[in-house]
Structure 1
Amino acid sequence: MTKNQSLSQIYLDSNATTPVLPAAAKAAFDAMKETFGNPSSSHITGLRAKNLMEQTRKSAMHFLGVGTGKLVFTSGATEGIQTAILSSLVAAKKNIKPDESYTLLYGATEHKAVPNSLHHWNELLEINAEIKAIPVNHRGELDLDFIEKEIDNALMICTMAVNNETGVYQDLSKLEQAIRSTGNDVFWMVDCVQALGKRKLDLQATTIDYAPFSGHKLYAPKGIGLVYIRENAPFTPFIAGGGQESGLRSGTENLPGMAALKVIFDTLNGDAEDRFADHTQLTLYRNQLLTALKQAFPDVVLNHPLDNTVPTTLNFAVPHFASKEIMDLFDAANIRVSSGSACSSKVTRSFVLDAMGLPSWQSESAIRMSFGPLMTQEKCDAACARIKMAAKALGESCLTVKPAVNQKLVNGLLELKSGNSCCWLYTDADSKTAVIIDPLPELISRIVNIVNCQKLKIAAVLDTHGHADHQSSRPELESQLKMVTKTDQLGWPKHFDTVYVGENAYPTIRIGNKALLRVKTPGHTDDSVSYLLTEEIDVVKPHFKYAFCGDTILMGSLGRTNFCTSSSEQMYHSLHKLNELLASTTLICASHDYHNEFTTTLITECYRNTLLSNVLSTQSSINEFCEQKSVLDSNLNDQTGCEIQCGAYVEIDESLPIVEYDKNELSILLEKDHDAKLVDIREPHEYMLQHGIKAEENVPMTRLVEFIAQHLSDKDKHYILVCRSGTRSLVVAQALARLGFTNIGHVQGGYALNS
């Protein structure tokens, strides 16, 4: 292992959580060490603890303008939301009339804690009200007309002061007018979590009934929060027990958290040594970050307007890059951002941006960059420089419009994916000739950048068949690459060579000193073909390194044959033809990869696919195959997300057991086993930016199939894979193990836990 110069962390994810202010951390520690008494105890130690708690409450009440209302300490915003909703619905239930219908209203862009809690308590209390989302416009602003129409039948309305994903704030004055327009007394909760320290709040001047806050969003520890309750608003304790907080919230008080929270409110009130940046200065920081983003990514798109957004949040998308790609890029550069809400990290798109009516690509590519009022000019300058550095790495990987001048030519096979769909780019470095197979609309810009950056000569842009799940992007790609070669409907050139395999002649195009043969393999569709790549042109039976079979053979499946242009009978014959041509080590590169398996071989597929095995061993007649294939196709789920499923799985393999290493185990292993190799499987631009421990070799997932082809003869070599978090390395390890690599491990937790 070698060391790269370590990059200091640039933290730009403050809407998720913030570091604890040093003075707040000290106050918490002092409370644990000195003022550690139980506030309910009547001795001096307890009285001092009680005084600290009340001083914290007093400081918070002053800043928030509570007036005659109450502030109750909680564990955080989620508990505050539960308290507000439970209190409102318990009170509302007493006045429900059995012959009338009721609603519960919430903003369509609310944090998921709100609608989920409404559904939970609505069901548990058997209120059975209809729960409705209040629409927002493209600016993220709530539809006031909708509220005015629906408010009469509402038992409760939940809105938020500032959105956690976009930073969009609501005009609480106009919102209040709409809610109270009919003079009703509907219960109103406002989630104020993201507003604290960013928007002026004077709660006593409003008719807001409940407002939750969370300390860890503004430099206090996790586990401490507050909920505001307006005077005379109904209240039902969410936590019953010893009667702490005047019976409003039981449980021994979190005094260290309160001590830290006091420092935060003292700072907000101007009564502490630390100072938070004001709105003007925060706006300047945001503008500088936005300028850096525009310089780094000239076509960056903001997902929200700036005039109704707090200055500490930027939500943006970079065309042609998924949010995970930008996340991984920034993380490699030690910049911390998030893709939308940190509480929805497993979701691939933003429901907030969907509600605002933004295009799907922006929702799927959204990145949230957020900072707090402790931002300084020095930190902002460092962040701007790091953003530009990260973008430069993309250019040096030929992924942006301004690539590096002397980029090293990528030789061999490159796999590009969009969702479950695969596109393949094969390049011969000696001749700088390449072929593109099954291009995808979402990848046109990326392919063009790679081709132009590396100054490739494109022999052909090919489809393996007419795709049912997308229009071919081949004509557009050929246009952007300024190709004028006459082709058939799948892109095969009108003028081509011919290569004989045995007695059969196959149309062929040359890629440097290699040959790509076209083989008709109808079945999935009547125009399906396979392209076989070989480096052995002048032999009777060449060895094919790769077989681009489209959707004829998929990992764990066979292509569906229930389209109007499909034929199970033709697929039967096509499978036999491929079996005659392909070697045991020929890697099959499909048009779809539903389970991140990357590639396969006929032997691997026959081992787990009884239907295919029986066909190739002639144990199944053509009629039996057609019958079994019909049953298999009947199990198709026609939609996988937004994609048509092109093959039903015969069997999904259980995850294979992979040896996992932590940092210490890895160090011991590499000292003992000098043949073991640590391989970074992230993309080149991530590897280039890597801080901390650096692997000996970079084999990105886009180049994994080429790596497999090069190492089929030494499958017992010891490889330990590493990535950012351990997720990708585990996927790759399982894929290699499935293909017979016997000595594969990965670093659990990746660089995140082991640098």
Structure 2
Amino acid sequence: MSTTAALACNEIYLDANATTALLPAAQVAMLRTLTDNYGNPGSPHGAGIRARLELERARNAAAAVLRVPAGQLIFNSGATEGIQTAVLSALHTQQAGSPVRVLYGSTEHKAVPEALAHWGELLGLNLELLAIPVDSVGRHDLDWLARHAAGAALICTMAANNETGVITDLAGIGTIIAAQTPRPLWLVDGVQAFGKLDIDWLALGADYVPLSGHKLHAPKGSGILYVRDGAPFTRLLAGGGQEGNARCGTENLPGIAAIGAVCEALAAGEFGDPARLLAANARLRAAVSSAFPGVVFNSPAQHCLPTTINFSVPGVPSKRLLEVFDALGLRLSAGSACSSKTAKPSHVLMAMGLGEERATSAIRLSISPWCDATDIDAAVARLQLCGSILESQAAAMAALEQVALPEEDQELSDRYAITASQLPDWRARHAPALFIDIREPWEQAASGICPTLDGMASEQHPLSQLAQWLPQWPHQHSVLLACRSGRRSGQLLSHLRQQGYENVWHLAEGLAGLPQPR
């Protein structure tokens, strides 16, 4: 596949564990609640009744998919709120002063240990927080759990890991928990399992199961918390009595209706076919192996969701790989979207004992259960092109790594950042102005040549060649720097401003922040 052919393709989104596009049926359901059934579900008149019917339709659809009583489901803003509510409910029953043992998976999403520490402090509890170790595959050490479960007030585990896709042995954990007297409460993060694993939550015996709508084609800001009948419950939000007085505040009816539509599509078998997803996973793993010789997979296929692949290319930092992927329109990540701004290696891979070098070169590829063969065809071709560029441009990439710039001055880069909407006004005030594309040649070849902005003159000067072109700095012009994401241009702007260059600005969020063709 040539570069030109690749550029003709649309953006290929392979970061579904971070978020997903809206299911068409979910969009229809949302529009229906925004235009027709827009009433308040708490109102007694006809419009309110129709809105309430929308809400209960969604609740019943979710209950059918999850195989739990509809009355045990609470609609909320998403998994983080669900985790907070579950942790508060479990810990609120504990006595201050005495040690309270809580076990949680060492590879849990950070929302869990953060919530435990937060509510433990606010409730004045003497928490004994113990991380359940995992093996090199990422599965919980059940022998360790059996030895430490006695006397635990709460045990927190995931159904499937958000970074590696590793599937938890929920049945094994449930057996250990059921054998304890008194029985610990059990919080199971079901976010990544929703729509991908067939789990009978009621039969499993989990006490709290938070779910997030935007991970499965519903909008952001929508979610569900399942609370087992009889489990302690303390509401996080008090107010007007909505959700059976369990979660007060006017219901997010568009988001709830969208979740309901997704659940109806799941029940109808419209997406999430296991055989198709396994075939897609095999094709993508083969493509990664072919594109990147020496690649190691951090998530063995036999223990993982077919929608998630985590791999490392030894000696190639994930930052460099992501730059290649993004330049070619492949949207992947190095791990959890919630921690993407930190420079630390993945805590999940470190807990698995894979080492810092492997953890800092890790890439997460995650597809939606709604993907089809055409999506996979395009992804496979683009992965091959990424591998070719990485091999042919290794020297240029290494040269870029050698450019010594100080850390970005965030105050400076923010003050002199220009957004896409501000461009016309900035151009009018700074004519004549020069637009300098500091991307590398391979980035320009992959993403296209420097665009023309409002008729501005433009030049290409790769950052790796800064020492060659900076002496010819055009002092007679106002200069707007741009790179792919705004990170390198912000760093260079900080350096130049600190060196006394007063006529330089940079494009906020880089070229990626400009309006993109559909």
Where do 1:76-475 residues align within 5 Å? 76-93=78-95, 100-270=98-268, 275-348=270-343, 349-399=345-395, 415=399, 417=401
What is the alpha-carbon distance in structure 2 between the residues aligned to residue 302 and residue 396 of structure 1? 23
Contact 1:68 1:230 (8 Å CA) reproduced: no
1:725 maps to which residue?
485
Aligned in 2, Cα 1:656/1:92: closer, same or farther, shift over 3 Å?
A: closer
Identity score, percent = 41
Partner Cα distance (1:19, 1:656) in 2: 31
Amino acid at match of 2:62: A
Q: 1:231 to 1:745 in 2, by over 3 A?
A: same
Q: SS state of the match for residue 162, structure 2? A: coil
Task: Tell me the residue number matched to 1:54.
Answer: 56
The one-letter code of the counterpart of 2:440 is E
| Counterpart in the other structure of 1:687 | 444
Q: Indicate the residue corresponding to 1:72 in structure 2.
A: 74
Q: Give the aligned partner of residue 13 of structure 1.
A: 15
State the Cα deviation string for residues 581-630 of structure 1 (Å, max 9, x = none): xxxxxxxxxxxx58348xxxxxxxxxxxxxxxxxxxxxxxxxxxxxxxxx
Q: Does the 8 Å CA contact 1:244/1:252 hold for their aligned counterparts? A: yes
- 8 Å CA contact 1:6, 1:692 repeated in 2: no
Find the aligned partners of 1:33 and 1:334 in 2 and give their Cα distance: 35
Pairwise CA distance, 1:164: 0.4
Deviates more, 1:694-703 or 1:201-210: 694-703
Q: Which whole-Å deviations, capped at 9, do the CAs of 1:603-659 have from their partners, x for residues lacking one?
A: xxxxxxxxxxxxxxxxxxxxxxxxxxxxxxxxxxxxxxxxxxxxxxxxx99848864
Name the CA distance, whole Å, in 2 between partners of 1:160 and 1:414. Answer: 39
CA deviation profile, 1:257-289 (whole Å, cap 9, x unmatched) = 111111100011117xxx104111111111111
Query: What is the aligned residue count?
Result: 505
Alignment correspondent of 1:744: 504
Question: Which runs of 5 or more residues in structure 1 are unaligned?
Answer: 400-409, 425-592, 598-651
Match of 1:528 in 2: none
Q: Does 1:27 align with 2:32?
A: no
Which protein is richer in helix relative to its size?
2
Aligned residue number for residue 660 of structure 1: 417
Q: Which of structures 1 and 2 has the bigger CA Rg?
A: 1
* Offset of residue 350 of structure 1: 0.3
Matches within 5 A, 1:626-665: 655=412, 659-663=416-420
> Which consecutive residues of structure 2, in runs of 5 or more, have no partner in the other structure?
453-457
Provide the rounded CA distance (Å) in 2 between the counterparts of 1:415 and 1:5: 25
CA–CA separation in structure 1 for the residues paired with 2:197 and 2:105: 19
Q: Counterpart in 1 of 2:455? A: none
Residues 414 and 703 in structure 1, CA contact (< 8 A), matched pair in contact too: no
SS at match of 1:91: coil
Distance 1:656 1:673, change over 3 A: closer
TM score, norm. by length of structure 2: 0.91
CA-atom RMSD in angstroms: 2.7
2:267, 2:203 → 1: CA distance? 18
The separation in 2 between residues aligned to 1:155 and 1:692, in whole angstroms, is: 59
- C-alpha change, 1:292 and 1:698, in structure 2 (3 Å) is farther
- Contact 2:94–2:100 under 8 Å retained in 1: no
Aligned equivalent of 2:467, options 705, 713, 719: 705
Further displaced range: 158-167 or 65-74: 65-74
Give the SS at the match of 1:105: strand
TM normalised by structure 1 equals 0.63
Q: Kindly provide the CA deviation profile for residues 1-40 of structure 1, in whole angstroms up to 9, marking residues without a partner as x.
A: xx99664110111101101111211110111111111111
Contact 2:40 2:48 in 1 (8 A): yes
Letter in 1 for 2:383: I
CA contact (8 A) 2:63 2:70 kept: no
Change beyond 3 A, Cα 1:682–1:596: farther
1:101·1:153 contact (CA, 8 Å) conserved in 2? no
What is the Cα deviation at residue 231 of structure 1? 1.3
Please give the secondary structure, in 2, of the residue aligned with 1:158. Answer: strand
More strand by share: 1
Distance in 2, matches of 1:285 and 1:724, equals 30
Identify which of structures 1 and 2 has the higher relative contact order when contacts are C-alpha pairs closer than 8 Å and 6+ apart. Answer: 2
1:342 and 1:664, CA in 2 relative to 1: closer, same or farther beyond 3 A?
Answer: closer
The answer to whether the Cα contact below 8 Å between 1:194 and 1:217 also exists between their aligned partners in 2 is yes
Partner AA of 2:329 in structure 1: N
CA distance in 2, matches of 1:735, 1:7: 36
